[in-house]
Amino acid sequence: MTEVKFFVEGNIPVGFSLSGHSSFDCDDLEGKIVCSAVSSAAYMTANTIIEIVGDKAETQVDDGLMVIRVKNPGKEAIAVLKGFRLHIEQLSLQYNDRLSILSEV
């Protein structure tokens, strides 16, 4: 199962972490699709915030792990993070056995 943790400071989204995999085994096609959807959305979010918006962020990427925490997020980065959260929440409604969502202050 993929665990998505959203980082919030004073009701302002500042980042997220993804850990784990959505696949149950190597032949689990649906799990691979969910994992790809989550990963793609996460990379687009991180790249948009860092490369397009230009906000500074701490990042960590490893097998089965991605963390981004934005330092002093501006209005645009906050909007991108809110969009990412909405996207993940909608995916989790459809694939609740593959995605777990947590909020962390």
Q: Domain-by-domain residue ranges, the chain?
A: 2-104
State the chain's mean pLDDT as an integer: 93
Q: Is 80 a residue whose pLDDT tops 90?
A: yes
Res 61: pLDDT: 94
Dist. CA 64–CA 87, nearest whole Å:
19
Residues 68, 85: Cα–Cα separation, whole Å: 13
Distance CA 31, CA 15 (A): 24
Rounded to 5 degrees, φ, ψ at 44 are -65, -40
CATH superfamily of 2-104: Cysteine protease Prp (3.30.70.1490)
Mean predicted confidence (pLDDT) in 90-95:
94
Mean pLDDT, range 73-77, rounded to an integer = 98
Percent of the chain with pLDDT over 70: 99
Q: Which amino acid is at 20?
A: G
pTM: 0.92
Residue pair 8/104 in contact by the 8 Å Cβ criterion: yes
Query: Over pLDDT 90: what percentage of the chain?
Result: 80
